[in-house]
Structure 1
Amino acid sequence: MKKNQTYFLQTGMTLIEIMIALLLGAFLLGGVIKIFVNAKQTYGMQEGLSRLQENSRYALEILSKDLRLSGFQGCISITDLTPTNTATTAITSPVVAPAISSPTPATIIVGYNGSEASPVTTTWSPALPSALSGLATPITPGTDVITVVFGESCGGYLSADMASASSDIQISSSNTCGIVDGDPVLISSCSNADLFRATTGTTSTLIKHNAVSLPATCASPPCYKTSSEVFAYRAYSYFIRPGASGEPALWRYDNTKAASSSSNPVEILDGIENLQILYGEDTDADGVANQYKTAANVTDITDVASVRISLLARTSENLASQTLTYDYNGATGVNPGDRRIRRVFNATLAVRNRLQ
């Protein structure tokens, strides 16, 4: 008798096939991981560079705005009239505030050149004023400092003529001045200008003062009429020092207020490692700079027609695969010893109120 035999076909994979499949899968997975890592690194670098560029442009915008305004006091030029100053004494009430110097063509821009010696020393030329040299966290050695003085327009047009030279000043309700007790105020017409401090009782539309006479030379009031304007008086110093995050940062000190650990100076933004400034002297009175010098080498600050700013910015993290050297302020091939990316940003600005 013939027996029926049943044959079964082999199913599944052999060990060799499994090993080949695992190897191919590992290659594919490795490729995916590499693509992901590269994409993450590229994204991190792009984000870091974008922030670096954004911070640098904003820093240049802030500095440029104030430098262009230096010496501004309305329709009368600082070169034609220096404001009469009644705020020459420090005050302790209602707020603590230092004495204010009247702006002049020689003081609307003042530069301080950081030591360029090697190694860098903690000195500046000319010497820093005590308000800046005495900061709890010192300014970064070797970096420059600049102070600019101007009246900031805030829509403070007089809503009524001053009845007398000692009258309170009424300004339009649409102003954005935000002037409070103790704030320095600049008032000007096309023929007069005065600097004083607001006193107790000042509101958003009424500025009280203790000036004996505004203007000091007014023979027949009203000398300040509705065409006159009130400005928020600014005297800012810009410099570099470590920020709250520990990164180098651009800071601004308000010279019209007392130093405060919480509000003066204020950090503008981090990632700015160095600030270098050159001053363009107009030696032939044609309104154009003939030569650029450091603050220490300027012959006559009143001849400065333009300012050249150079910022060195860096990323907050080590984004490069290796240490990158950079060129800055005449130094070439500088090795910072880290893998941060650095960029240099420059701007040349006219001192407009000296060119009028």
Structure 2
Amino acid sequence: MHGFTLVELMVGLAIGLVLIAGLGLMFANTSQSGSELNKSIRQIENGRYAVQLLEDDMAHAGFYGELPLDGINYGPKPSDLQDLCGATGHQGWDAATSRAPLPILGLSKDDSANCLSNRLAGTPAFVIHHIGNDAAPIAPASATTGMAYVQTSRCNKDVDPGNPSVAAFAVAATAPASFPFRSLDCTTPSPVRPYIARIYYIASCSECSGSGADTIPTLKMAELRGNSMTVIPLVEGIEQMVLEYGVDTAGTGNASSFGIASSTTDWGNIVAVRVHLLSRTTEPSPGFTDSKTYVLGGSTVTIPEADKQFKRRVYTTTVRLTNVAGPREIPVTTPPASS
């Protein structure tokens, strides 16, 4: 019986090592490719999800239930943007002038609001106002104490509780006892709907404190809950947002022009918004360098050297504010067909 010679054994070991090295390299490359594919898939999902979230809420901007849309005065942009973070600023209803909160209000990158914690420098934000549309109206007695609701009057004998000489319009409050208006029979209390006030912005982190703190740019929302704003993380990896607002200067329901938020923007006549988002992977890609310059509407974004290992995509959509634009539409009259 013959065994292996030393030479044969060494050759066999060498061949085995080559095969193992090849398999290891193939496994490493496959694993890296799978990891990069997973990063890209999550980045694409996050970008699309962020666009869908903003589209859905913008589409409801200015929905005020039974209020006559053609009679609402949306009023000017608040001079003190800090009011956006308190119940008073968000509940800007005024019966004397038939004023309801602006459906949408943009904050430029230089505007501040003290409830937007960890806001990423150089990024804008925007506010959405409407009432809840995903649930049936409820009786005031069933309203949750501390939650903001809006009540409108259905009785032609109702008057504004703060000024009896003014006809009833609407009231926003957080206490069930603060809803004075009645239904058509002028006896039954008129129902209430939840009042929605949300500020969308980009934060410099997803988890901003504690042992799990990170530096992932994240789309967040500050939502009115009771008398204060609560910040909620929504989508990780959103690092830049550019908003172009369409102003209807002709009163037709169509945007005459689009522009970035400024102190002169005619907020009561905004009928559409173009949203541009720059989304990146949440983890760097070794060996990758992002040397692109990204165009978001009329703005360009150049990536700083420290962040060039992340892969990025741009997402763009245009949202029509139906509750503002719809009542302005001019019906098209079709001439009678000639005989």
Give the TM-score, by structure 1 length.
0.70
Alpha carbons 1:71, 1:108 under 8 Å: kept: yes
In the alignment, which residue of structure 1 is the partner of 2:177?
A: 209
> Do residues 291 (structure 1) and 260 (structure 2) align?
no
From 273, 277, 281, give the equivalent of 2:239.
273
Aligned CA distance change for structure 1 residues 77 and 15 (closer, same or farther; 3 Å): farther
Deviation at 1:295, TM superposition (A): 0.4
Point out where structure 1 has 5 or more consecutive residues left out of the alignment. 1-8, 84-96, 115-123, 159-167, 172-178, 200-207
In the alignment, which residue of structure 1 is the partner of 2:170?
A: 194
Matches of residues 165-314 of structure 1 in structure 2 within 5 Å? 169=140, 179-188=143-152, 194-199=170-175, 208-211=176-179, 213-214=180-181, 221-222=185-186, 230-241=192-203, 242-244=205-207, 245-246=213-214, 247-255=216-224, 257-259=226-228, 264-296=230-262, 299-314=265-280
Deviation at 1:40, TM superposition (A): 1.1
Question: How far does the alpha carbon of each residue in 1:12-58 deviate from its partner, in whole angstroms, 9 at most, with x for none?
Answer: 33333223222222221111111111111122112212221222222
> In structure 2, what is the Cα distance between the partners aligned to 1:81 and 1:224?
25
Alpha carbons 2:146, 2:174 under 8 Å: kept: yes
Q: Which amino acid aligns with 2:102?
A: T
> In structure 2, what is the Cα distance between the partners aligned to 1:71 and 1:332?
32
Question: How far does the alpha carbon of each residue in 1:254-305 deviate from its partner, in whole angstroms, 9 at most, with x for none?
Answer: 2464557xxx212223221122211112233332223210001754122221
- Structure with the higher fraction of residues in helix conformation: 2
> In structure 2, what is the Cα distance between the partners aligned to 1:307 and 1:223?
42
In the alignment, which residue of structure 1 is the partner of 2:337?
A: none
User: RMSD of the alignment, in Å?
Assistant: 3.0
Q: Which amino acid aligns with 2:181?
A: L
> Do residues 351 (structure 1) and 327 (structure 2) align?
no
Alpha carbons 2:148, 2:226 under 8 Å: kept: no
Deviation at 1:324, TM superposition (A): 1.3
The SS at the match of 2:50 is helix
From 51, 60, 63, give the equivalent of 1:60.
51
Deviation at 1:189, TM superposition (A): 6.6
From 14, 23, 45, give the equivalent of 2:36.
45
Alpha carbons 1:325, 1:335 under 8 Å: kept: no
> In structure 2, what is the Cα distance between the partners aligned to 1:297 and 1:110?
11
> In structure 2, what is the Cα distance between the partners aligned to 1:257 and 1:265?
13
Aligned CA distance change for structure 1 residues 19 and 193 (closer, same or farther; 3 Å): farther
Deviation at 1:320, TM superposition (A): 4.7
Aligned CA distance change for structure 1 residues 352 and 59 (closer, same or farther; 3 Å): same
The SS at the match of 2:131 is strand
Deviation at 1:221, TM superposition (A): 4.8
Percent identical residues: 22
> In structure 1, what is the Cα distance between the partners aligned to 2:181 and 2:252?
35
Aligned CA distance change for structure 1 residues 153 and 134 (closer, same or farther; 3 Å): closer
From 126, 131, 144, give the equivalent of 1:146.
126
Q: Which amino acid aligns with 2:186?
A: P
> In structure 1, what is the Cα distance between the partners aligned to 2:241 and 2:251?
28
Alpha carbons 2:63, 2:130 under 8 Å: kept: yes
Aligned CA distance change for structure 1 residues 27 and 266 (closer, same or farther; 3 Å): same
From 119, 125, 133, give the equivalent of 2:114.
133
Q: Which amino acid aligns with 1:34?
A: L
> In structure 2, what is the Cα distance between the partners aligned to 1:52 and 1:296?
31
Give the TM-score, by structure 2 length.
0.74
The SS at the match of 2:310 is coil
